[in-house]
Amino acid sequence: MLNYIWAAMIALGIVFGAVNGNMKEVTEAALDSAGEAVSLCIAMAGIMALWVGLMEVAESAGLIRRLTNMLSPFVSFMFPGLPKKHKARDYISMNIIANILGLGWACTPAGLKAMEELAKLEVERGTPGYAAGGKGILADERKGQNRAGKNGGELSVVTSGKSGRIASNEMCTFLILNISSLQLIPVNMIAYRQQYGSVNPAGIIAPAIVATFISTLVAVVYCKMKDSRKRRE
């Protein structure tokens, strides 16, 4: 969908420029923007290398493990159904820590691994739509019962032409927390502001902390409300 939106915006901009006789300006802007994009990528690559390197140093020094342990009560509060020793807890904690430090690119691998472990948890729980015992699961629409796929692997349950595999409560909670993303150091925004000549690139830190704190607070309240309603059902 985003591809269509961007394509439509570009096409409208070109048509608008042509109608108003500004094709020269449109061409110059396109070339200038291409050059700025390359410069921005180079600048961001250096910043990414710095912060990812610091994360590696922190992990080697045991700091990440300590922060993960400090986050354990919060993880237990947000994910009461997640077993204490489950691997997903570590990945969720690492994802939250990376988000707090503004390292969006560093939190992605941890987020993917967390989702993978949460999916394995659903396999252990025997949730319909997830692979179990190395066998695929496929719905028999005529009988309304599940049956193993012939080739194994992971097959979605299909009922009435739609996928029966749905995200678990833990998956939804994790996704919402990841999107709300409390940030103490918005590295990306600081880099963008510096690249485009801001007098005070770090001036965004205080507003970003307030905005992301509110968004995270709303996310926590929403998740607990939905979780409470689901438990009552």
CA distances from 192 to 47, 100, 107, 198, 208 (A): 11, 18, 19, 9, 14
Look at residue 42 in the predicted model and tell me its pLDDT. Answer: 82
Look at residue 131 in the predicted model and tell me its pLDDT. Answer: 59
CA distances from 164 to 134, 170, 216 (A): 19, 17, 30
Q: Locate tokens 């995270």: which residue? A: 216
Look at residue 213 in the predicted model and tell me its pLDDT. Answer: 92
CA torsion sign for 158, 161, 164, 166 is: positive
Look at residue 164 in the predicted model and tell me its pLDDT. Answer: 59
Look at residue 148 in the predicted model and tell me its pLDDT. Answer: 38
How many residues make up the chain in this entry?
233
Q: The pTM is what? A: 0.65
Look at residue 217 in the predicted model and tell me its pLDDT. Answer: 92
Q: Are 119 and 88 in contact (CB under 8 A)?
A: no
Per-residue model confidence as pLDDT tens for the chain (233 residues)? 788 898 898 889 888 888 888 888 888 888 888 888 888 788 777 777 777 777 778 778 888 778 888 888 898 888 888 888 888 888 898 888 888 877 776 777 888 888 988 988 888 887 777 754 444 333 333 334 444 333 333 334 333 444 557 788 888 899 898 888 888 888 778 877 887 788 888 888 899 899 989 999 999 999 888 888 877 76
